[in-house]
């Protein structure tokens, strides 16, 4: 039972006047209005809440009498008192008062020595305060008391991985046990990933976090933060920045202070720049000079500057001179910073010569098999087809058994929703390789898509305005935002339902996810972007409107660009990467393409989110990949840092219509 007398700091026989006086004096100290913007604001809120509860009970004679009787009974029952102390400790912990929470939990376990839940929270506080030895002892105690409960093992994994105690293999083994016992908890996956990092196996750690970890856990800030650091270590700056933005978004939704988030973002951006400029040292310009070893907390041995420690990576980098150091207590890990000679900044291109040869041979065999199959089924002369990706539209389509149209479709048509912006390009029928093995972007698989037409531009504000005038449909979000509402900019801030309504009015529809990727690839095979594998700003020539963390708005546009300002892809489609995210017709399921139909897949039958594709002006290059998948709540319009920024759309229609 909470001790209201102790909260007001009054004796048990205090008079009503003494109670009122104590309440006024302590409220003056703890009232939240006095601490707005300070670090103890949350604590002040919790304290004032306690004071209000104490005063409400003790100032009412009847409530006070019942409370005093309950206190007498509670004092005779140590387990009830232990539960009260545990509840108090939990509330104090959630308000950020770790020292008082720790004391309350110690009182709880003193009253009830087998109170393992209290021990679990004690161990968590020990870890947060860096007291790993005590946390390890607490974990052993919980495991002894409750061997079939995961809490003790989780605590032990955190000690072994975050505190870097014990052998790496033992940590991996225990992490696997935690994953088996508690697959919906992040700590087993984090522990396993951190162990691989200690071994220097960064890519293996990344696979654990991005593929092995269940999808609903991948947006936890601890997961995003660790992947961010791995990307930075691997010199994959675009991905590091993308993960940082996702990390910030999660913390913002959790109520983190905006000023702190802004400071963290500036700090991480500085770290990226420092990492880039420090490459000359890491890449061996001074190869004869060994990496120096220091103790944790010591200044840089080269210039005396501050060392950036990596939470799970046993190395540090000087904030001033950019040189790298090894922490003395991590020498046994035999870890050295990764080098571009051994780890590419873009893991998707890590192929050996043998791998490339096998891939070429495989493609040639596939081309031959498909060509023979087409020839045998449809009596087509093999010499008239170009490859296995696109059936040449010069072939007499009437020879097919079930033609969708009676004559060859034209390459361009114009929709009713506002020429010249409503021009549509023909996307020819054919098979293509959908998905990518990079960071789990999707299962690589063959898909056949019938011919269709797609808008060469994203739907513009001018076109959407015509739709509003004709139907009385409400204006989308940001319709009056001067940064986003120019007539030739893509309309953004539309829900999936808004996009569907527009498409129906225009006599069109939204593309399926498979149609969208088929069109985005522009006839290219196995490439990252609509134009190939080159970075979006290679050689200083920008191929898309996106956020490069080092270019500001040097692509020419701080927000969305007028449509068609960047080069089109092989099918003549503009802005298939960047500018605005684009709604697709499909529900989203991360595992759908593991076993989807070969021909014209339509996506899952149901779901909670719809798929969006293409990236936007406020995303890094990672989001611009043709295989990248993201999600949006169909009833919402998103706008802000991260995956929800600037959702628009474009339409398609069948080639026979």
Q: Catalogue the long-range contacts made by 305-314 (C-beta closer than 8 Å, 24 or more residues apart).
A: 308/271, 310/229, 310/233, 311/162, 311/225, 311/226, 311/229, 312/161, 312/162, 312/193, 312/194, 312/197, 312/198, 312/226, 312/229, 313/197, 313/229, 313/230, 313/233, 314/164, 314/198
In angstroms, the CA 570 to CA 591 distance is 29
**What pLDDT sits at residue 402?**
27
Asked whether the predicted pLDDT for residue 349 surpasses 60, the reply is no
- Chain length of the chain: 657
Q: Which of 314-318, 427-431, 651-655 has the lowest mean pLDDT?
A: 314-318
Q: What is the mean pLDDT of residues 351-374?
A: 55
Q: Give CA–CA dist 510/448, Å, rounded.
A: 18
CA angle, residues 301, 203, 617, in degrees to nearest 5: 90
* pLDDT in the model for residue 631: 81
Distance CA 224, CA 207 (A): 13
Asked if residue 123 lies in contact with residue 160, where contact means CB atoms within 8 angstroms, the answer is no
What does the pLDDT average to over 548-564?
A: 71
How would residue 303 be classed by pLDDT, with cut points 50, 70 and 90? confident
Location of structure tokens 């209000």:
52
Average pLDDT, the chain: 77
Highest mean pLDDT of the ranges 272-286, 352-366, 497-511:
497-511
- Distance of CA 561 to CAs 27, 165, 484, Å? 54, 52, 9
- Looking at residue 211, the DSSP 8-state letter turns out to be I
Strands 647-648 and 581-587: parallel
Low-confidence winner among 180-194, 334-348, 601-615 (lowest mean pLDDT): 334-348
**pLDDT number for residue 350:** 38
- Find the mean pLDDT for residues 483-493: 90
Q: What confidence tens digit (pLDDT) does each residue in 202-211 have?
A: 889 999 999 9
Residues 82, 105 contacting (CB under 8 angstroms): no
* Across 548-558, average pLDDT: 61
Share of the chain above pLDDT 70, in %: 75
Residue 382's pLDDT band (boundaries 50, 70, 90)? very low
Which helix (H) or strand (E) is 431 found in, with range? Answer: strand 430-436
Report all structural domains of the chain as residue ranges with CATH numbers, in order of start.
4-233 (1.25.40.10), 278-345 (no CATH), 410-654 (3.90.1580.10)
CA distance 44 to 424: 61
pLDDT at res. 543: 92
Per-residue pLDDT band at 559 (split at 50, 70, 90): confident
pLDDT higher than 80, residue 21: yes
Q: What is the 3-state secondary structure (H, E, C) of 432-451?
A: EEEEECHHHCEEEEEEEECC
Q: Which two tokens stand for residue 615?
A: 């990236």
Token duo for residue 80: 């009830």
Residue 442 to residue 203: CA distance in whole angstroms: 18
pLDDT at 421 over 80: no
Residue pLDDT, tens place only, 159-203: 887 765 567 888 889 999 999 998 888 889 998 998 888 788 888
Confidence band for 131, pLDDT divided at 50, 70 and 90 = confident
Nearest Cα to Cα of residue 428 among 464, 392, 395, 401? 392
């Amino acid at each position: 039972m909470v001790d209201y007398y102790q909260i007001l700091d009054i004796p048990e026989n205090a008079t009503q006047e003494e109670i009122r006086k104590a309440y006024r004096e302590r409220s003056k100290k703890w009232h939240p209005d006095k601490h707005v913007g300070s670090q103890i604001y949350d604590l002040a809120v919790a304290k004032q809440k306690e004071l209000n509860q104490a005063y409400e009970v003790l100032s009412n004679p009847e409530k006070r009498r019942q409370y005093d009787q309950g206190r007498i009974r509670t004092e005779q029952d140590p387990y009830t008192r232990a539960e009260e102390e545990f509840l108090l400790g939990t509330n104090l912990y959630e308000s950020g008062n770790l020292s008082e929470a720790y004391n309350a939990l110690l009182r709880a376990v003193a009253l009830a020595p087998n109170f393992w839940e209290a021990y679990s929270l004690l161990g968590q506080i020990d870890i947060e305060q860096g007291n790993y030895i005590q946390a390890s002892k607490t974990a052993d105690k919980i495991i002894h008391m409750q061997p079939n409960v995961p809490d003790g093992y989780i605590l032990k994994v955190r000690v072994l991985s975050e505190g870097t105690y014990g052998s790496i293999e033992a940590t991996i083994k225990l992490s696997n046990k935690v994953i088996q016992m508690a697959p919906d908890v992040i700590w087993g996956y984090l522990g396993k990933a951190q162990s691989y990092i200690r071994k220097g196996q960064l890519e293996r750690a990344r696979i654990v976090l991005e593929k092995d970890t269940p999808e609903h856990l991948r947006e936890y800030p601890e997961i995003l933060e660790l992947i961010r650091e791995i990307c930075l270590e691997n010199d994959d700056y675009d991905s590091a920045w993308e993960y940082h933005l996702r990390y910030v978004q999660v913390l913002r939704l959790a109520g983190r202070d905006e000023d702190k988030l802004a400071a963290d973002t500036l700090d991480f951006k500085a770290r990226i720049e420092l990492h880039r400029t420090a490459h000359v040292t890491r890449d061996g310009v001074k190869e004869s000079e060994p990496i120096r070893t220091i103790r944790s907390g010591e200044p840089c041995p080269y210039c005396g500057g501050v060392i950036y420690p990596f939470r799970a990576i046993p190395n540090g980098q000087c904030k001033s001179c950019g040189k790298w150091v090894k922490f003395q207590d991590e020498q046994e890990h035999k870890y050295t910073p990764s080098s571009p000679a051994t780890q590419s900044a873009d893991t998707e291109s890590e192929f050996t010569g043998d791998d490339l040869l096998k891939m070429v041979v495989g493609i040639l065999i596939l081309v031959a098999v498909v060509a023979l199959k087409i020839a045998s089924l449809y009596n087509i002369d093999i010499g008239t087809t170009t490859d296995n990706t696109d059936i040449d539209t010069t072939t007499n389509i009437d020879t097919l058994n079930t033609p969708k149209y009676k004559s060859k479709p034209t390459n361009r048509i114009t929709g009713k929703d506002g020429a010249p912006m409503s021009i549509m390009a023909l996307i020819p029928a054919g098979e293509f390789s959908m998905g990518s093995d990079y960071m789990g972007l999707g299962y690589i698989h063959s898909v056949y898509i019938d011919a269709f037409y797609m808008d060469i531009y994203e739907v513009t504000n001018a076109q959407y305005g015509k739709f509003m005038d004709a139907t009385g449909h409400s204006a989308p979000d940001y319709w009056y935002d001067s940064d986003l509402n120019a007539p030739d900019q893509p309309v953004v801030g539309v829900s999936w339902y808004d996009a569907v309504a527009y498409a129906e009015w225009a006599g069109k529809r939204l593309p399926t996810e498979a149609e969208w990727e088929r069109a985005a690839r522009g006839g290219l095979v196995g490439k990252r972007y609509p134009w190939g594998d080159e970075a979006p700003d290679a050689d200083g020539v920008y191929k898309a409107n996106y956020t490069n963390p080092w270019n500001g708005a040097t692509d020419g546009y701080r927000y969305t660009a007028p449509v068609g300002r960047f080069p089109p892809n092989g099918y003549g489609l503009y802005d298939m990467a960047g500018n605005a995210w684009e709604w697709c017709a499909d529900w989203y399921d991360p595992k759908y393409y593991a076993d989807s139909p070969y021909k014209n897949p339509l996506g899952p039958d149901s779901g909670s989110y719809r798929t969006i594709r293409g990236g936007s002006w406020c995303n890094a290059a990672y989001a611009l990949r043709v295989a990248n998948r993201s999600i949006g709540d169909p009833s919402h319009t998103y706008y802000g840092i991260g995956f929800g920024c600037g959702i628009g759309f474009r339409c398609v229609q069948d080639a026979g219509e």
